[in-house]
């Protein structure tokens, strides 16, 4: 039964009824799956030949070569040698074309759409024979160099279009047409290199009269549309948006094969403040562009203008979505910058929308509960939520610093307490906590400065006892650290502090210190100046000036 189906399939194949042949062969395989293929019977050389031919047709040259070589190991047949030679030649030929860049250009899936959108090449597609040639090249790009050297001037137009030559202002990149503000005109690209001279082949037959009439009609419509676009651009420059919109609408109605007419119309609608209509027009441009396989740069432009319209409406989430779609189609610096701005604005808006002092107080209280229970990690989490809800409340930072201190995360604790003091410079509890953190870090000089700053701001003396206890503790640590230091050792250690070094190198402070050596009372007089007093106190704390 399987053999009978195989015979019928062979007859259908010979009659070029390939669909019928596939059906019959498939039925035969279902009945007898062991009927030869190379997986079932690795010694079947004809199977390797057919596999190699199939892979050759798919332009998988390396796989095809491997299949032929595997077959030759089974049987040294002329068919296998011939197939191997053909695929090796094809691979070499494609490599040559790739060096010229032709294979990549003609393999573009948007090839026909690009040619249809170009005024010089669109009319050539009206010739069925020429259109078939283009389709043949698209299916097998290695034919490109052969047909380019055939002497047909229309192929030169095709090459120029694919190399990006701006024939009549078509296929401009994002922002390069004459419309929106801030968009500059694209520079004229260089002319395409001449096609290599080879033996000429007979030119294709001239199009039929009926095709020529259709070509002329399309050319006329396209010319009218181009003129309407020009009028629209001039009106746009004069900010006559009604006239511009009418002209661009007419251009699209006359020649609905170029979506730049729609994106230009959307630009006008955007300037008129009709953002919803601009979005709808650009969405239509994308839909039509997909249908006609338009240049991805034009689709990217439409997506970008949708994003800008949403941004102007204040819908930043949608703006970000369409900016990302635009960049997926074609990446430009303009759209990328707009995306970054929109993301930044959205993050700021989200942060502001999250602000809630009442919920901040609730989170801070929850943090206090966790802190008292000894769950300092949970306390950090709750205090962080309090900060997000109200970053202007210094208590959240100060409390989180206390939790970090318990976790011995000293750099994080110091950073938080500094932020608390930045928000509220007279926050006594924050200055006390800073002194505690610095003491734990064994930076006794700065710890002493911090506790002295706390004393300055404790005007009601509610924290006087705590401040005094902390200062005594710090002074004792300093005395223990410096008890055996000589004056030279003290100076060397103190000068490692950049602030101390700056004070000591200040000519004014040098003069004051020289006066103080001969007249200690002069030092007391200078300390009446708050800035001088602060610097002298710094030197006292560092041990350079000794009070006893």
Looking at the predicted structure, is the pLDDT value of residue 291 above 80?
yes
- Residues 262 and 336 both lie in one domain: yes
Which of 213, 212, 160 lies closest to 189, judged by CA? 160
Q: What is the DSSP string of 274-329?
A: -HHHHHHHHHHHHHHHHHHT--HHHHHHHHHHHHHHHHHHT-HHHHHHHHHHHHHH
39 by DSSP, 3-state: which? coil
Residue 304: inside a domain: yes
Average pLDDT, the chain: 81
- Residues 234 and 346 both lie in one domain: yes
Write down the pLDDT at residue 199: 45
pLDDT, tens digit (0-9, with 9 covering 90-100), for 411-453: 999 999 999 999 999 999 999 999 999 999 988 889 999 999 9
Write down the pLDDT at residue 396: 95
Positive/negative CA dihedral, 529, 535, 540, 546: negative
- Residues 394 and 302 both lie in one domain: no
Q: What confidence category does residue 68 fall into, taking pLDDT thresholds of 50, 70 and 90? A: confident
Number of H helices, E strands in the chain: 30, 0
Please compute the mean of the pLDDT values over residues 316-339 and round it to a whole number.
94
Q: What confidence category does residue 178 fall into, taking pLDDT thresholds of 50, 70 and 90? A: very low
How far is residue 181's CA from residue 429's CA, in Å, rounded to a whole number?
A: 55
Q: Considering the chain, what percentage of its residues have pLDDT values greater than 70?
A: 78
Q: What is the CATH number of the domain that holds 51?
A: 1.25.40.10
Contact 167, 141 (CB under 8 A): no
Write down the pLDDT at residue 210: 37
Residue 29: inside a domain: yes
Alpha helices in 330-463 (DSSP H): 333-354, 357-372, 376-389, 394-406, 410-423, 428-440, 444-457
Looking at the predicted structure, is the pLDDT value of residue 498 above 70?
yes
- Residues 349 and 284 both lie in one domain: yes
Of residues 450 and 486, more confidence is placed in 450
Residue 382: inside a domain: yes
Write down the pLDDT at residue 435: 95
How far is residue 143's CA from residue 138's CA, in Å, rounded to a whole number?
A: 9
Residue 193: inside a domain: no
Domain C-terminal end among 313, 335, 354: 354
Residues in the chain, total: 548
Structurally, the chain folds into a number of domains equal to 6
- Measured from the Cβ of residue 539, the count of other Cβ atoms closer than 10 Å reads 17
- Residues 265 and 144 both lie in one domain: no
Please compute the mean of the pLDDT values over residues 536-548 and round it to a whole number.
76
Q: What confidence category does residue 209 fall into, taking pLDDT thresholds of 50, 70 and 90? A: very low
Of residues 435 and 203, more confidence is placed in 435
pLDDT, tens digit (0-9, with 9 covering 90-100), for 119-174: 777 778 778 778 778 877 777 766 666 666 666 778 777 777 776 654 344 333 33
Residue 525: inside a domain: yes
- Residues 70 and 115 both lie in one domain: no
List the structure tokens of 157: 């137009």
Please compute the mean of the pLDDT values over residues 470-490 and round it to a whole number.
81
- Residues 442 and 395 both lie in one domain: no
Q: Considering the chain, what percentage of its residues have pLDDT values greater than 90?
A: 42
pLDDT, tens digit (0-9, with 9 covering 90-100), for 14-60: 665 756 766 776 776 666 665 656 444 566 667 777 777 777 776 78
How far is residue 481's CA from residue 484's CA, in Å, rounded to a whole number?
A: 8
How far is residue 340's CA from residue 318's CA, in Å, rounded to a whole number?
A: 14
Write down the pLDDT at residue 38: 47
Q: What is the DSSP letter of 126?
A: G
Residue 212: inside a domain: no
Which of 340, 338, 402 lies closest to 368, judged by CA? 402
Residue 197: inside a domain: no
Q: Is 144 exposed, middle or buried (0-12, 13-18, 19+ CB in 10 A)?
A: buried
- Residues 240 and 326 both lie in one domain: yes
Looking at the predicted structure, is the pLDDT value of residue 200 above 80?
no
Please list, in sequence order, all residues whose beta carbon lies within 8 angstroms of the beta carbon of residue 362, skipping any fewer than 6 positions away. Answer: none
Domain C-terminal end among 69, 100, 131: 100
How far is residue 331's CA from residue 105's CA, in Å, rounded to a whole number?
A: 19
Domain C-terminal end among 100, 123, 144: 100
- Residues 396 and 309 both lie in one domain: no
- Residues 513 and 472 both lie in one domain: no
Looking at the predicted structure, is the pLDDT value of residue 117 above 60?
yes
Look at the block and give the residue holding tokens 């796989």.
63
* Least confident window among 27-31, 457-461, 484-488, 493-497: 27-31
pLDDT, tens digit (0-9, with 9 covering 90-100), for 308-321: 999 999 999 999 99
List the structure tokens of 368: 């206090």
How far is residue 428's CA from residue 417's CA, in Å, rounded to a whole number?
A: 11
Residue 411: inside a domain: no
Please list, in sequence order, all residues whose beta carbon lies within 8 angstroms of the beta carbon of residue 317, skipping any fewer than 6 positions away. Answer: 346
What is the end-to-end Cα distance of the chain in Å, rounded? 118
Query: What domain range is 385 assigned to?
Result: 358-406
Centroid of chain to Cα 531: 51
- Residues 464 and 499 both lie in one domain: no
Which of 230, 221, 232, 282 lies closest to 256, judged by CA? 221
- Residues 251 and 265 both lie in one domain: yes
Q: Which of 48-57, 460-469, 521-530 has the highest mean pLDDT?
A: 460-469
| 353-361: long-range pairs with CB below 8 Å, 24+ | 354/388, 354/389, 355/389, 355/390, 355/391, 356/389, 356/390, 357/389, 357/390, 357/393, 359/389, 360/385, 360/386, 360/387, 360/388, 360/389, 360/390, 360/393, 360/396, 361/386, 361/390
How far is residue 396's CA from residue 412's CA, in Å, rounded to a whole number?
A: 14
């Amino acid at each position: 039964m399987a053999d009978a189906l195989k015979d019928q399939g062979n007859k259908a194949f010979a009659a070029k009824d390939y669909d019928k042949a596939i059906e019959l062969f498939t039925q035969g395989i279902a009945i007898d799956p062991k009927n030869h293929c190379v997986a079932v019977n690795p010694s079947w050389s004809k199977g390797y030949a057919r596999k190699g031919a199939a892979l050759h047709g798919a332009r998988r040259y390396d796989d095809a070569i491997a299949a032929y070589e595997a077959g030759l190991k089974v049987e040294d047949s002329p068919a296998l040698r011939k197939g191997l030679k053909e695929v090796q030649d094809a691979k070499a030929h494609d490599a040559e074309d790739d060096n010229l860049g032709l294979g990549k250009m003609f393999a573009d899936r948007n090839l026909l759409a690009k040619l249809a959108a170009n005024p010089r090449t669109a009319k050539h597609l009206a010739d069925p024979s020429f259109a078939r040639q283009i389709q043949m090249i698209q299916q097998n790009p290695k034919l490109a160099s052969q047909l380019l050297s055939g002497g047909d001037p229309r192929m030169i137009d095709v090459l120029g279009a694919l190399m990006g030559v701006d024939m009549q202002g078509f296929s401009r990149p994002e922002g390069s047409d004459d419309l929106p503000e801030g968009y500059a005109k694209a520079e004229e690209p260089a002319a395409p290199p001449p096609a290599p001279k080879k033996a000429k082949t007979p030119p294709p037959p001239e199009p039929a009269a009926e095709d020529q009439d259709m070509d002329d009609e399309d050319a006329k419509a396209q010319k009218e549309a181009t003129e309407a676009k020009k009028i629209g651009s001039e009106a746009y420059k004069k900010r006559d948006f009604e006239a511009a919109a009418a002209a661009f609408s007419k251009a699209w109605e006359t020649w609905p094969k170029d979506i730049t007419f729609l994106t230009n119309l959307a630009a006008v609608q955007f300037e008129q403040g009709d953002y919803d209509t601009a979005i709808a027009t650009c969405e239509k441009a994308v839909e039509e562009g997909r249908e006609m396989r338009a240049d991805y740069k034009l689709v990217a432009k439409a997506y970008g203008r949708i994003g800008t319209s949403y941004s102007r409406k204040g819908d930043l989430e949608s703006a970000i979505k369409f900016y990302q779609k635009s960049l997926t189609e074609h990446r430009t610096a303009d759209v990328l910058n707009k995306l970054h701005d929109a993301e930044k604005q959205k993050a700021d808006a989200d942060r502001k929308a999250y602000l809630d002092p009442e919920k901040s107080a609730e989170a801070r209280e929850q943090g206090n509960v966790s802190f008292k229970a000894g769950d300092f990690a949970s306390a950090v989490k709750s205090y962080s939520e309090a900060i997000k809800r109200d970053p202007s409340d210094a208590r959240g930072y100060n409390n989180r610093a206390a939790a970090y201190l318990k976790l011995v995360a000293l750099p994080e604790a110091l950073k938080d307490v500094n932020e608390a003091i930045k928000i509220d410079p007279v926050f006594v509890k924050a200055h006390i906590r800073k002194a505690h953190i610095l003491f734990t870090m064994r930076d006794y000089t700065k710890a002493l400065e911090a506790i002295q700053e706390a004393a300055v701001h404790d005007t009601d003396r509610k924290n006087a006892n705590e401040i005094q206890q902390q200062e005594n503790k710090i002074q004792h640590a300093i005395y223990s650290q410096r008890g055996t230091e000589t004056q030279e050792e003290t100076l060397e250690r103190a000068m490692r502090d950049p602030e101390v070094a700056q004070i000591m190198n200040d000519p004014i402070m040098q003069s004051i210190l020289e006066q103080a050596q001969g007249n200690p009372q002069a030092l007391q007089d200078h300390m009446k100046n708050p800035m001088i007093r602060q610097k002298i106190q710094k030197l006292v704390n560092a041990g350079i000036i000794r009070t006893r």
